[in-house]
Structure 1
Amino acid sequence: MNDQGRRILLGRVAGALGLRGEVKLESWTEPRDAIFRYQPWTLRDAQGRERQIEGVRGRDSGKHIVATFPDVTDRDGAEALRGLEIHVPREALPPAKPGEFYWVDLEGLRVVTVDGVPLGTVSHLFSTGANDVLVARDDERERMIPFVRPQYVTDIDLEGGVVTVDWDPEF
């Protein structure tokens, strides 16, 4: 699969922290402070405007991920960053471990049942807290399939571009 040009949403600026320009980040990396390893970042605002930045430093304070952006030295500057999404190129991420997958690598794959019935393509995945959910869409409907392996998701073939599920096509 060609990852050229694909970007991954790794986090978001949650807001200002203190008076010296530090910000709180939401980070979806594991561990949370690994987000700082994947720079430069592309910052995207709610209107879709983007800019690149590097040299962001930070730490996991226990309660928050705290970051310092270059040239941001006061609370007003930090508050102006609130809501910015943090994206990185897909190729910046390390290879997935055997048996593990980045969700973005599954998006766009065909979804078929164990009996070969097509259910559409992977639109996206999301977490419910209890388990992750794979969303398969076709022209007619959207199906939410628990991403529970091997009970419901029986096989993932990245090379073949197919996710096989044990799922009733009528459900």
Structure 2
Amino acid sequence: MKDSPVVIGEITGVYGVKGWVKVFSHTEPRINIVKYNPWFLKQGNEWKSVKLINGRSQGKTIVAQIDGVNDRNDAHAMIGTQIAIESSQLQKLGAKDFYWRDLEGLEVVDLNGDVLGRISHLIETGANDVMVVKLPAEKAQGQKIKELMIPYLMDSVIKSVDLDANQMTVDWDDDYI
């Protein structure tokens, strides 16, 4: 791979006898995983490029046909394999839009420049996404709360995101600690 892999799913089972696989997708909507081609499959410590021949929804799951996987035994051997793409395959976003993977790990500071912590991960809640911010060790020591839940609301809560500086500025108070 030319750049770091973006994991978008995993092979979770077999479908039928002709080598089709069941896929758990991290894309939104889930069916979008079949729009990417090629896929990269992790085999050992290596990523191998494979051509996706076909893919579709099948009930509540996604099934896919991968070039060179022609029978149930070949498909069964792939269970647990991660599916990735190159970051260059991702859709380009607007100036204030970000992929979660780009936000994870950012240092979060308030309007005064005080460090609140680092973004551990994000949670989809339905109303809006929520950032889980792990407190720095010195703030977490002796506290019941070890992380902050900050709504991902651009402009009202999130004032700026600087990926080059690895930092996000938020209008948030650490009084909740």
Could you tell me how far 1:127 is from its partner in structure 2?
A: 3.3
Match of 1:76 in 2: 73
> Structure 1 pair 125/12, CA: closer, same or farther in 2 (3 Å)?
same
In the aligned structure 2, how far is the partner of 1:85 from the partner of 1:103? 18
In the aligned structure 2, how far is the partner of 1:117 from the partner of 1:132? 23
- The question of whether the paired residues in 2 share the 8 Å contact of 1:40 and 1:54 is answered with yes
Could you tell me how far 1:134 is from its partner in structure 2?
A: 1.9
In the aligned structure 2, how far is the partner of 1:16 from the partner of 1:8? 23
Q: What's the secondary structure of 2:152's corresponding residue? A: coil
> Structure 1 pair 144/22, CA: closer, same or farther in 2 (3 Å)?
farther
Q: Deviations 1:75-125 (Å, cap 9, x if unpaired)? A: 222122112111222222121134321011112322112332102332332
**Residue 20 of structure 2 is aligned to residue 57 of structure 1:** no
Report the AA paired with residue 49 of structure 1.
N
Q: Deviations 1:50-82 (Å, cap 9, x if unpaired)? A: 331221223322522211112212222212211
In the aligned structure 1, how far is the partner of 2:171 from the partner of 2:149? 9
In the aligned structure 2, how far is the partner of 1:31 from the partner of 1:41? 17
Match of 1:33 in 2: 31
Identity across matched positions, percent: 36
In the aligned structure 2, how far is the partner of 1:106 from the partner of 1:6? 16
Scaled by the length of structure 1, the TM-score of the pair is 0.78
Could you tell me how far 1:146 is from its partner in structure 2?
A: 3.5
Match of 2:108 in 1: 111
Q: What's the secondary structure of 2:22's corresponding residue? A: strand
Alignment counterpart, residue 17 of structure 2, candidates 7, 19, 23: 19
> Structure 1 pair 157/31, CA: closer, same or farther in 2 (3 Å)?
same
Q: Which runs of 5+ in 1 are unaligned?
A: none
In the aligned structure 2, how far is the partner of 1:130 from the partner of 1:44? 35
Alignment counterpart, residue 155 of structure 1, candidates 157, 160, 163: 160
RMSD: 2.7
Aligned length: 166
Q: Which has the larger radius of gyration?
A: 2
> Which is worse superposed, 147-156 or 82-91?
147-156
